[in-house]
Amino acid sequence: MDLILNPASDYSLPELVDILNRGFEGYVIPITMNLPAFLNMLRKDGMDLSASRVLIKDDQPAGIALIARRGWTSRLAAMGVATEARGMGAGFWVMEQLLDEARERGEREMVLEAIEQNEPAVRLYRKCGFQTVRRLISLVRKDAVEQRTSDLQEMDIREAGNMIARYGFPDLPWQLSAESIALTNPPARAYCEGQAYAVISNPAAKDVAIWSLVVEPAARGKGLGTEMVKSIVAEHPGKTWHVPALLPEELGKVYERAGFVREELSQWQMRLAV
């Protein structure tokens, strides 16, 4: 194959959205991006279009790799190859180039999340040397209603990010890190209840995501996380609540005790020292 990589910064944002959508046609999980969602991802996830790449095959865009960067770490935020370039080794070739470029930038690791059910992608990343950090799961609770039992207080989302930086896992998935959460804006909301803190998406929507939940270490083991989830449900009754497939599996019981049910979709959180 005659393949080259061009900087994504050479293309307009609508062009990048179109290339991204073509790269995910027929994907294991349907993904369709629009321009507002793409702009939000660029801002919140720290995307670097000068380090991101567009795959060119036979002089035409045939795929995209989006790279986010923070300090000595980069993240493969998305990689999609168009139908006409699949099954020819293009994905592995692109990954080799991306890793070489990360080394040239002086970075120390690359991270990513791979859908567990997408076995070809998981094999590709493992072939490139990525190691599994943990499984990430998703949960749902439909038409949820709870009785209000405590005093839930709204707080600044940026301050909630500070609490995650202070008390959360040091190796959370990129999108749940303190840096990402602190860049979340209203109509998303953040709440505190005693020594527990949570961030949710727009509660006016029918489907609401719980993006973050953290309890101070001294208060753990007392059910405060589960009570926090129930309090948020009581504050916004009748919604369908989602925990995206970014939750470390070891935290799932907190939500299950609040009536959430685990979904089939899961991901591997992966990293590679470059």
| 219 in the same domain as 177 | yes
198 lies in some domain: yes
Q: Verify that 251 and 173 share a domain, yes or no.
A: yes
The answer to whether residue 119 sits within a structural domain is: no
- Is residue 150 located within the same domain as residue 82? no
Please check whether residues 98 and 160 belong to one and the same domain.
Answer: no
Q: Residues 64, 52: contact at Cβ < 8 Å?
A: yes
- Per-residue pLDDT of 116-172, as tens digits, reads 999 999 999 999 999 999 999 999 999 878 887 778 999 999 999 999 999 999 999
Q: Tell whether 274 is covered by a domain.
A: no
Q: How many domains does the chain have?
A: 2
Q: Work out whether the CA dihedral 22, 68, 212, 246 comes out positive or negative.
A: positive
Q: Is 180 helix (H, G, I), strand (E, B) or coil?
A: helix
Residue 122 lies in a domain: no
Cβ count near 224 (within 10 Å): 19
Q: What is the residue range of 248's domain?
A: 137-268
CB 114 within 8 A of CB 121: yes
Residue 117 lies in a domain: no
Of 56, 87, 107, the one marking the end of a domain is 107
Handedness of CA 253, 259, 264, 267 (dihedral sign): negative
- The owner of tokens 């321009």 is 35
* 155 and 92 in a common domain: no
Instruction: Give this prediction's pTM.
Output: 0.95
Q: Which tens digit of pLDDT belongs to each residue from 245-260?
A: 999 999 999 999 999 9
Residue 54 sits in the same domain as residue 144: no
In this predicted model, what pLDDT tens digit does every residue of 5-41 receive, in sequence order?
999 999 999 999 999 999 999 888 878 999 999 999 9
Residues 246 and 173 in one domain: yes
222-238 pLDDT tens trace: 999 999 999 999 999 99
Whole-number pLDDT of residue 1: 63
Rg (CA), the chain: 20
Q: What is the CATH number of the domain that holds 219?
A: 3.40.630.30
**CB-CB contact of 241 with 140 (8 Å):** yes
DSSP character at residue 8: G
Report the pLDDT value the prediction gives residue 36, as an integer from 0 to 100: 96
Q: Are residues 149 and 247 in the same domain?
A: yes
58, 148, 256 from 39: Cα distances, Å = 29, 37, 33
